[in-house]
Amino acid sequence: MQNSVVSCPKCGSTNIYKNGHDKYGNQQYFCKDCKRTFRLVHSKKHKLFSFPYPKCPVCGKTMQIHKIKKAFVKFRCRSCHTRDEIPTNLPQFVPLPFDSFKFFRFPIFIVLKAFVLYFKAVSLRSIRDSLNIKVSHVAIYKWILKLSCFFSILVPVDAFKVHGDETVVLFKSKKYYVWFLVEHDSNLIVAWHVSKYRDMGQVKILLEKFFGNNEREIELITDGLGAYGAVKILYKNINHIVVRLGQNNQCESKFSLFQDFVRAKRGFKNIDNLPMYVNSFCVVRNLLKLNNNDIARVICVLLSSITTS
């Protein structure tokens, strides 16, 4: 539209010039006679992308699109001019039924990808670099802690032969024991337990987590630890088989992966988070085993379990 045909709606003057755009992209005009700024169109601009626009990390306001590139979109805050980037190849945002995720700046797909990579023994800074978004490793660490309480391991209903073993985790020169039960045929972790002691009471807790309310006849394979003597005393439906130390390969292979995870994280900052780490490790390792180490399929399974819960 030319300036010669545009008139000021207040004084009728045509002595005007273009004066930028508003936040919705509508053309603004300035009248030189009455010093009034106005616009002829008042429509709101539609969002170009389906994912939520990020919040400014400085002032907390929603950022606006600054530039659109081939692989990412640049956002800028109108107040403090802080800039951020978001990849354009993200899936459509999935609304979640609970409020625990409403404070995430990024789509849940990105958060779940960081969650899976973390329990594949990838460092936080390596995860940050692989996500191709502007986020700190501390924020990723908080994602992990928040997600670790939402998932539980899937126990096969036909698990009749399991392997049991324990390993030691050191924290400030104190020993903590992690117990696993691993199914013989599928090599899936079916139960876990974390304790400060290695006695019969801990074996009883581990088996109760596996059985639940359905006691069935199973075959339990362990090494020569004396604490497993509680099996013959407390359970008549368990056939306990003792193998030589170092021959319980089903459980020991899982513990080697868990020890690699602990070494990659250089220990734990808070021992109270150890049960959450162990539970999430079991969930991710089982899903990777069931989905042939396909991370994308694992993320879809986790996402479906969240949205249907």
- Strands 83-87 vs 161-171: parallel, antiparallel or unpaired: unpaired
pLDDT of 93: 39
Mean of the per-residue pLDDT values for the chain? 78
% of the chain with per-residue pLDDT over 90: 0
Q: Which of 61, 59, 23 is nearest to 43 (CA)?
A: 23
pLDDT of 99: 46
pLDDT at 115 over 50: yes
pLDDT of 90: 43
pLDDT at 108 over 60: yes
pLDDT bin (cut points 50, 70, 90) of residue 106 is confident
pLDDT at 89 over 60: no
The 3-state secondary structure of the chain reads CCHHHCCCCCCCCCCEEEEEECCCCCEEEEECCCCCEEECCCCCCCCCCCCCCCECCCCCCECEEEEECCCEEEEECCCCCCEEEEECCCCCCCCCCCHHHCCCCCCHHHHHHHHHHHCCCCCHHHHHHHHCCCCCHHHHHHHHHHHCCCCCCCCCCCCCEEEEEEEEEEECCEEEEEEEEEECCCCCEEEEEEECCCCHHHHHHHHHHHHCCCCCCEEEEECCCHHHHHHHHHCCCEEEEECCCCCCHHHHHHHHHHHHHHHHHCCCCCHHHHHHHHHHHHHHHHHHHHCCCCHHHHHHHHHHHHHCC
pLDDT at 147 over 60: yes
pLDDT at 130 over 60: yes
Dihedral angle computed from the Cα positions of residues 106, 107, 110 and 111, in that order, rounded to the nearest 10 degrees:
80
CA 31 to mean position of chain CA atoms: 54
Mind listing the pLDDT tens digit for each residue in 3-15?
457 888 888 888 8
- Can you read off the two tokens belonging to residue 81? 């001019």
pLDDT bin (cut points 50, 70, 90) of residue 103 is low
How many residues are there in the chain? 309
Mind listing the pLDDT tens digit for each residue in 159-191?
788 888 888 888 878 888 888 888 888 888 888
By the 8 A CB rule, do 92 and 51 touch? yes
pLDDT higher at 249 or 296: 296
- What whole-number distance in Å separates Cα of residue 165 and Cα of residue 242? 11
pLDDT at 211 over 60: yes
Q: How much is the average pLDDT of 55-71? A: 77
Burial class (CB in 10 A: 0-12, 13-18, 19+), 1: exposed
pLDDT of 51: 62
pLDDT bin (cut points 50, 70, 90) of residue 232 is confident
By the 8 A CB rule, do 98 and 81 touch? no
pLDDT of 91: 41
pLDDT at 221 over 70: yes
Mind listing the pLDDT tens digit for each residue in 50-59?
566 778 878 8
Q: How much is the average pLDDT of 241-251? A: 75
pLDDT of 233: 75
Q: Which of 30, 17, 84, 19 is nearest to 57 (CA)?
A: 84
Query: What long-range pairs does 98-104 form, CB within 8 A, spacing at least 24?
Result: 100/146, 100/150, 104/143
pLDDT at 1 over 50: no
pLDDT higher at 264 or 219: 219
pLDDT bin (cut points 50, 70, 90) of residue 270 is confident
pLDDT of 87: 64
